[in-house]
Structure 1
Amino acid sequence: MAAVATVAGGRRRGLSIDGAEETPEERVGRLITESPAVIFSRRGCCMSHVIKRLLAAVAAHPVAIELEEADELAAAAAAGGAGLPALFIGGAAVGGLEGLMGLHLRGCLVPMLREAGALCP
């Protein structure tokens, strides 16, 4: 899996499992469980940009992973086939922008982020 991750502070780091013992599905699953909040998206996705902006507005800075076309299936499968962008908070699939907005409008987003440890101090 070749992808680019952006972590808090805007730092970028490459992700690669070429030659590793993990399948792309295992790697995606591990990233979901290891990160309090993670977004999988396509490169240049405007919906992902909106998700990041809303999360930043509530003081959360998720790991953002831009996938290559070949790896999109693994992330989409982890999201229950919902497609990309796919947001996970505390290991739970939130969905895309609609799922995030639904949580925010119901007042559930900040408590969920707090419980997952995804809010910045």
Structure 2
Amino acid sequence: MEAVMRLARERGVVIFTKSSCCMCYAVKILFHDLGVNPMVHELDQNPEGREMEKALMRLGCTTPVPAVFIGGLFVGSTNEVMSLHLGGSLNPLLKPYRALS
């Protein structure tokens, strides 16, 4: 669990994903379209990925990926991120982490 939390704090926006997950891809594209360059950790390409998945589940992820952290805090998975986006609450959370144009 400590490794996941350490990685989640290493950048403003962090996403734990799997390279073969279409929902992970959709969330990554959303963040890029919103002008954010998240730190992405592909669990299926990490030797400790299985343990990280278990830690994410203990944090409350209903599905282990994608798991989105903003400002070091767990936001949720696809449903939570899309709900925030559609409700207009995601942009204010991301404002400090937008790439400079």
Match of 2:61 in 1: 81
Question: Larger relative contact order (C-alpha < 8 A, sep ≥ 6)?
Answer: 2
Structure with the higher strand share, 1 or 2: 1
CA distance in 1, matches of 2:50, 2:8: 19
- In terms of Rg, which structure is larger? 1
1:97 aligns with one of 78, 82, 92 = 78
Match of 1:30 in 2: 6
Match of 1:7 in 2: none
CA distance in 2, matches of 1:47, 1:30: 24
Gaps of 5+ in 1: 1-24
CA distance in 1, matches of 2:38, 2:22: 16
| Cα shift readout 1:44-89 (whole Å, capped 9, x = no counterpart) | 11111000111111101111111135231123323x1322211111
Q: Percent identity?
A: 37
TM-score by length of 1: 0.70
SS of equivalent residue, structure 1 residue 34: coil
AA at the equivalent of 2:58: A
* Count of residues in Structure 1 that have an aligned counterpart in Structure 2: 94
TM-score by length of 2: 0.82
Match of 2:15 in 1: 39
> Does residue 1:66 correspond to 2:42, yes or no?
yes
SS of equivalent residue, structure 2 residue 3: helix
**RMSD over aligned Cα, in angstroms?**
1.5
**Moved runs in structure 1, 4+ residues, more than 3 A?**
none
SS of equivalent residue, structure 1 residue 98: helix
CA distance in 2, matches of 1:35, 1:119: 12
Instruction: Answer yes or no: is the 8 Å Cα contact 2:8–2:69 preserved in 1.
Output: yes
SS of equivalent residue, structure 1 residue 75: helix
Match of 2:98 in 1: 119
Range 38-47 or range 69-78, more displaced = 69-78
Structure with the higher helix share, 1 or 2: 2
